[in-house]
């Protein structure tokens, strides 16, 4: 739970009005949250391993879910630079060799529900003559993708390959 204790005379964000707290090109940020600090964030993970007695390999499956509360990406509290709360679910299942862990094949889907989100935002209005211009960082997981991972250990060396597809 982060909070700015004291910051009187902080700069206003682009387009901030007096009603929004900008007086004489400054504002008081006391009590405002710090950037990139959601109030709540949690992760859930479920793993399942299945022994297949009659096979030379065993099976596995897992599902994970990460959720975070809204977060601002700007110290001046520009409301255009706020990421709303979101959650992302991932799942995978596959097989791996029992005896020596020589190979592993995994089918996976990340961001199952195709929830778009940002990991960073910035205001570029000054570069465009004061017109609203927002920069955003979109991570790979900000859209659904799926694929196959194949891992093969040859003696002490390891070879891995991943094939991903964006729908």
Contacts of 157 (CB under 8 A, 6+ apart): none
Query: Which residues share a beta bridge with 23?
Result: 26
Residues 54, 71 contacting (CB under 8 angstroms): no
Q: How are beta strands 157-165 and 134-137 bridged, if at all?
A: unpaired
pTM higher than 0.85, yes or no? no
Share of the chain above pLDDT 90, in %: 72
Average pLDDT score over residue span 30-58: 93
pLDDT higher than threshold 60 for residue 76: yes
Tokens of 4: 């700015």
Distance separating alpha carbons of residues 31 and 10, to the nearest angstrom: 13
């Amino acid at each position: 739970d982060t909070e700015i204790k004291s910051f009187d005379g902080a700069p206003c964000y682009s387009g901030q009005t007096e009603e929004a707290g900008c007086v004489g090109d400054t504002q008081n940020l006391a009590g405002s949250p710090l950037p990139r600090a959601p109030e709540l964030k949690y992760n859930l993970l479920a793993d399942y391993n299945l022994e297949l007695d009659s096979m030379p390999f065993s099976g596995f499956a897992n599902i994970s879910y990460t959720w975070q509360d809204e977060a601002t990406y700007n110290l001046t509290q520009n409301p255009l630079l706020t990421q709303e709360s979101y959650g992302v679910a991932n799942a995978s299942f596959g097989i791996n060799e029992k005896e020596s862990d020589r190979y592993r094949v995994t089918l996976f889907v990340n961001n199952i529900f195709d929830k778009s989100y940002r990991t960073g935002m910035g205001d570029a209005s000054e570069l465009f003559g004061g017109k609203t211009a927002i920069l955003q960082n979109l991570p790979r997981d900000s859209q659904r993708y799926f694929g196959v991972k194949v891992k093969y250990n040859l003696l002490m060396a390891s070879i891995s390959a991943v094939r991903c597809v964006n729908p």
